[in-house]
Structure 1
């Protein structure tokens, strides 16, 4: 599947500037702060209307924390978040209602995301009632049925409970609930990772169709680059709380620059079992976010590390139109050409 490029807009729908989230570690009898978990440490990106930006990386890299920070599920340590030009990270709680209507979320586990005591009709009706989206019972029922149509579930299923559905059907209900208030942006936090391969493909196709129909923006958080390739317009690769590479889908999969990105791509399965692939095996474990390495945070596992990497943090620099990479190798004239992961 080839995603058409998104037309450039004067103002992005979502802007995230230098976002940081450090979680304090408390210990001792007095509960004093003994350190911090550097979950996210200076992340910047934007999302245009109708665009999918995928945030990828290994477990623990901070990608889900970014999504929760945008949703205002906790306060930021530093940074700014703008929705349609309006700053929302410091918005008072009493004024958050309008933002909640425009930014919705689909979590990884659809069963734990749904109230097991509510029928689907009530689950979908709740956001419609909360945001004043329906006028009377007849209008409410019509809107609930329309949501079932959008996610391709039978209308008569509204009187069933969540446990009566399969995992893929439950995720469709979660998507319908996210659509109910008329959201502009949906954050999908590992939304298909718990599903079987065939069901995963169906949900991805559904999300692409809904995006094309409704003009939705998606922040798709995943560790699965094979899934991301068929869904996204752009990809941001995270490692230990930082974005190390950001590019459009075609550029990243064909001409990635950062060694970490190339290692991830080298592990993606290919349809042809006879095809040759230069697999890049990373040694060692991911460092602790409590005490991240100095310099480049990837230097402890990078097969191309040199002295500068250990002392100086690389900054994201432009490698081409819309393609950014944070690696000192990109700044070395005539430097070493990394092996292609494809």
Structure 2
């Protein structure tokens, strides 16, 4: 990582209106994303994790400007893009690309691989002539480790893992600075998943890409990320460097998420934390801390005052009132059984 800021998001909000009544007016809002801030440097991976429905994918689509924002700022390579009109976004599309979750619906079944990869190259005028175009297509196939002659085949002739490699090649075709991976490996088999993750890491090192990696699979995240941001009900509740977060979470929700990951070593001690109740509705989030309805450590202040995301002095941010208590009274700092993770282990290929 170079420390060069590529993407910066400040107080991002996306509220979807609920239509109803006789006249079809707005009767409420779904607070899908409600004040999210983060940044990504060149060559860095920031993973966005949390339960289904917490707003992860909405953040990704908001950053990509696939819809307009309710509030907040998105700055890409020093240029604010959240307030740009749709017609002016074309140059921005080249700088930030996406790999979607489903490799089967992400590719046009009526286009051969050559045409799929050629489309972004032609759209952004990156090839000097037809010979240059063919060479670029061949290099993309090399980068994602597929044979060059496969460009003459149709998407249905490939496996799921091979299709996702083509999706990655299509994203790389525009020569972007940032790639948003929206659950890019969740639909794949375990062995194929590992190969795609290793491929993404190799490409990042080779090309200096920044990545926003959206996932619910903490084992994958722990293997490939630099920093982790944990979301709950539209808000980020914790952000930290990978080792710090997996080694000592500072938010009860993160602690519960990590306790649910299968133990990597037989016999390793791990206390499973089962959260009570259901995730509240994003239409009417609870007052105070949004996690207090399920938190095993909640006290009166949690029910009335919303905690702010604060740094512990070492770049580990958490939004939790427990850290205002004396250290001896903070259950997150006095765990009987520390969380055990393989922070140095390779995911391998199986």
Same-fold call, TM cutoff 0.5 = yes
> What secondary structure does 1:230 align onto?
helix
Q: Report 1:136-215 matches (<5 A).
A: 136-215=129-208
> What secondary structure does 1:110 align onto?
coil
Tell me the CA shift for residue 283 of structure 1.
1.0
**Aligned counterparts of 1:41 and 1:90: Cα–Cα separation in 2:** 18
> What secondary structure does 2:224 align onto?
coil
Q: Report 1:7-156 matches (<5 A).
A: 7-9=2-4, 12-156=5-149
Q: Report 1:296-315 matches (<5 A).
A: 296-315=289-308
Name the residue aligned to 1:336.
330
Q: Count matched residues.
A: 335
**Aligned counterparts of 2:289 and 2:66: Cα–Cα separation in 1:** 29
**Aligned counterparts of 1:8 and 1:121: Cα–Cα separation in 2:** 36
Moved more, 240-249 or 271-280: 271-280
1:182-227 Cα offsets, whole Å, 9 max, x none, are 0000000000000011000000000000000000000000011110
> What secondary structure does 1:14 align onto?
strand
**Aligned counterparts of 2:267 and 2:165: Cα–Cα separation in 1:** 36
> What secondary structure does 1:296 align onto?
coil
**Aligned counterparts of 2:187 and 2:254: Cα–Cα separation in 1:** 23
Q: CA RMSD in A?
A: 0.9
Query: Pick from 232, 238, 241: which aligns with 1:245?
Result: 238
**Aligned counterparts of 1:320 and 1:195: Cα–Cα separation in 2:** 39
**Aligned counterparts of 2:2 and 2:137: Cα–Cα separation in 1:** 32
Task: Determine whether 1:284 maps to 2:277.
Answer: yes
1:284-315 Cα offsets, whole Å, 9 max, x none, are 10000000000000000000010000000000
Tell me the CA shift for residue 71 of structure 1.
0.7
**Aligned counterparts of 2:94 and 2:2: Cα–Cα separation in 1:** 25
Name the residue aligned to 1:323.
316
Instruction: Work out whether residues 74 and 82 of structure 2, in 8 Å CA contact, stay in contact via their aligned partners in 1.
Output: yes
Tell me the CA shift for residue 94 of structure 1.
2.5
Tell me the CA shift for residue 89 of structure 1.
0.4
> What secondary structure does 1:304 align onto?
coil
Name the residue aligned to 2:346.
none
Tell me the CA shift for residue 84 of structure 1.
1.2
Moved more, 209-218 or 316-325: 316-325
Tell me the CA shift for residue 273 of structure 1.
2.5
> What secondary structure does 2:97 align onto?
strand
1:89-145 Cα offsets, whole Å, 9 max, x none, are 001223211110000000000110100011000000000011001122211111111
Name the residue aligned to 2:209.
216
> What secondary structure does 1:199 align onto?
helix
Instruction: Work out whether residues 109 and 191 of structure 1, in 8 Å CA contact, stay in contact via their aligned partners in 2.
Output: yes
Moved more, 271-280 or 49-58: 271-280
TM-score (norm 1): 0.96
**Aligned counterparts of 1:131 and 1:238: Cα–Cα separation in 2:** 35
Instruction: Work out whether residues 263 and 341 of structure 1, in 8 Å CA contact, stay in contact via their aligned partners in 2.
Output: no
1:12-51 Cα offsets, whole Å, 9 max, x none, are 1100000000000001231110100000000000000000
